[in-house]
């Protein structure tokens, strides 16, 4: 079943979950149903977006499999090397499937096993993450999953919409995250088309963030922060510098927006996690091959804003934006 239809069902309302589960389950033909399944979950770091994706994943599989499924949930505390250690443990214990939450987790999983099925989530662009040229939606190897990509052109347009007087825009991200660089390149081009002068501000690790953000706030009128795990993990630090300096931030997702942004056009991480769980069920029970499963996307991102921060910075917000709770 195509994900665009699946996500429409997930996003429509919570009541639709039962019917969604029914239509997603394939024929029992070729079923690999068994008494128990062990799932290894490798999450890069603890922050609201990734936590929501993991929760959605576990919810979907628990609804489908009940007490047949158990989860070995591990958090790498933001360290890519720890992702590798976690994946190696999963391979040694021969889990039935690995759910890798965020790009470094997926990269570690793919390096760690060519046989255990892998599903990623919270990954912006799988072709970039896995180094696949001319990526067409299927990896061709033992990995598939869901993407957290929101419309980057529309996010760039928000800069002009919410901060119309801005002339100089900055893009802040971690240089070690390939998908952050990808988003920065796209948004840079879009902002340049809109007539802004754009500067990219990058940091290698958390120790550099304060210095880089301080420099950016001295030079720009507005900042854009993509779906970057290091930025998400340090959103409060970024806000403590940007807000007193009067620099508004357009964020790539809701969690970062809560921490330091004025507004976002954000997908639902719980929903992409839930969809990943449904994909896992198709692999575990219906015998689907992840190599043949297209990466799935959330086609219903929502404009949201932080009311208190917008009021502080005198930002006028259009009526089609929802206040973040």
pLDDT in tens, 96-150: 999 999 999 999 999 999 999 999 999 999 999 999 999 999 999 999 999 999 9
Q: Do 82 and 215 lie in a common domain?
A: no
Q: Do 210 and 235 lie in a common domain?
A: yes
Count structural domains, the chain.
2
Domain that holds residue 41: 3-149+268-294
* pLDDT for the residue numbered 34: 86
Q: Is 9's pLDDT higher than 90?
A: no
CATH number for the domain spanning 10: value is 3.40.50.2300
Q: Is 87's pLDDT higher than 60?
A: yes
Percentage of the chain exceeding pLDDT 90: 87
Q: Is 40's pLDDT higher than 50?
A: yes
Q: Do 142 and 215 lie in a common domain?
A: no
Q: Do 138 and 164 lie in a common domain?
A: no
Q: Do 139 and 279 lie in a common domain?
A: yes
Q: Do 118 and 11 lie in a common domain?
A: yes
Q: Do 145 and 35 lie in a common domain?
A: yes
Q: Is 162's pLDDT higher than 50?
A: yes
* pLDDT for the residue numbered 8: 42
Which helix (DSSP H) or strand (DSSP E) does residue 174 occupy? strand 168-174
Tell me the mean pLDDT in the region 49-69. Answer: 97
Q: Considering the entire predicted model, what is its pTM?
A: 0.83
Q: Do 121 and 89 lie in a common domain?
A: yes
Q: Do 11 and 61 lie in a common domain?
A: yes
Percentage of the chain exceeding pLDDT 70: 90
Could you give the CA distance from residue 193 to residue 276 in angstroms, rounded to a whole number? 35
* pLDDT for the residue numbered 166: 97
Q: Do 131 and 175 lie in a common domain?
A: no
Q: Is 42's pLDDT higher than 50?
A: yes
pLDDT in tens, 248-279: 999 999 999 999 999 999 999 999 999 999 99
Q: Do 64 and 194 lie in a common domain?
A: no
Q: Do 132 and 48 lie in a common domain?
A: yes
Q: How many residues does the chain have?
A: 325
Tell me the mean pLDDT in the region 81-105. Answer: 97
Higher pLDDT, 22 or 257: 257
Q: Which residues contact 233 (CB under 8 A, 6 or more apart)?
A: 45, 47, 78, 206
* pLDDT for the residue numbered 325: 87
Mean pLDDT of the chain: 91
Residue of 21, 23, 293, 10 lying closest to 144 (CA atoms): 293
Residue of 10, 61, 18, 23 lying closest to 267 (CA atoms): 10
């Amino acid at each position: 079943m195509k994900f665009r239809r699946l996500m429409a069902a997930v996003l429509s309302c919570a009541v639709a979950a039962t019917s969604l589960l029914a239509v997603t389950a394939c024929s029992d033909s070729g079923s690999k149903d068994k008494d128990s399944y062990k799932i290894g979950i490798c999450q890069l770091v603890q922050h609201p977006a990734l936590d929501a994706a993991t929760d959605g994943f576990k919810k979907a599989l628990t609804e489908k499999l009940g007490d047949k499924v158990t989860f070995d949930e591990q958090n790498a505390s933001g360290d890519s090397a720890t992702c590798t250690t976690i994946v190696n443990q999963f391979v040694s214990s021969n889990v039935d499937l690995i759910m890798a939450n965020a790009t470094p987790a997926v990269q570690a999983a793919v390096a760690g096993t060519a046989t255990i099925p892998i599903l990623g989530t919270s990954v912006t662009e799988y072709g970039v993450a896995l180094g696949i040229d001319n990526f067409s939606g299927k990896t061709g190897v033992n990995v598939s999953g869901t993407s957290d990509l929101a419309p980057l052109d529309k996010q760039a347009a928000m800069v002009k919409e919410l901060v119309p007087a801005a002339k100089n825009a900055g893009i802040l991200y971690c240089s070690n995250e390939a998908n952050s660089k990808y988003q920065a390149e796209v948004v840079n081009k879009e902002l340049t088309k809109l007539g802004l002068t754009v500067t990219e501000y990058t940091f290698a690790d958390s120790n550099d963030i304060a210095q880089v953000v301080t420099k950016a706030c001295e030079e720009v009128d507005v900042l854009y922060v993509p779906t970057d795990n290091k930025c998400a993990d340090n959103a409060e630090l970024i806000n403590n510098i940007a807000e007193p300096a009067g620099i508004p931030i357009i964020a790539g997702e809701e969690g970062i927006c809560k921490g330091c942004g004025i507004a976002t056009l954000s997908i639902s991480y719980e929903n992409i996690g839930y969809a990943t769980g449904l994909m896992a069920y198709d692999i575990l029970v219906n015998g689907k091959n992840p190599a043949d499963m297209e990466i799935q996307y959330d086609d219903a991102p929502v404009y949201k804003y932080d009311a208190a921060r917008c009021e502080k910075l005198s930002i006028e917000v259009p009526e089609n934006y929802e206040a973040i709770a």
